[in-house]
């Protein structure tokens, strides 16, 4: 089983609960979910930095 520490329940991928899977498949799914979670955290940090720059006016010359 792949456990989701954020929800405290079995993890899901593509709408399917990840329980009762072969160990190898669970490990692959865990790796995929870990990369998704890490990339989402990185994206939040980038958005936060961009908002801070906009708010502070240090980014006034940026276009787009």
pLDDT in the model for residue 30? 93
Give the tens place of pLDDT for each residue, 1-60. 999 998 999 999 889 999 999 999 999 999 999 998 888 877 666 666 666 656 665 554
29 contact partners, CB below 8 Å, separation of at least 6: 2, 11, 13, 18, 21
Q: What is residue 39's predicted lDDT score, i.e. its pLDDT?
A: 87
- What is the structure's pLDDT at 41? 76
Tokens of 50: 């961009």
pTM for the complete prediction? 0.60
**How confident is the model at residue 26, as a pLDDT?**
94
Residue with tokens 């405290």: 8
The pLDDT of residue 53: 59
């Amino acid at each position: 089983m792949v456990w989701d520490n954020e929800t405290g329940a079995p993890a899901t991928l593509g709408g399917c609960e990840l329980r009762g899977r072969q160990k190898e498949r669970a490990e692959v799914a865990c790796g995929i979910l870990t990369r998704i979670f890490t990339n989402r955290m990185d994206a939040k940090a980038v958005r936060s930095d961009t908002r801070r720059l906009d708010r502070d006016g240090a980014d006034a010359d940026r276009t787009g």
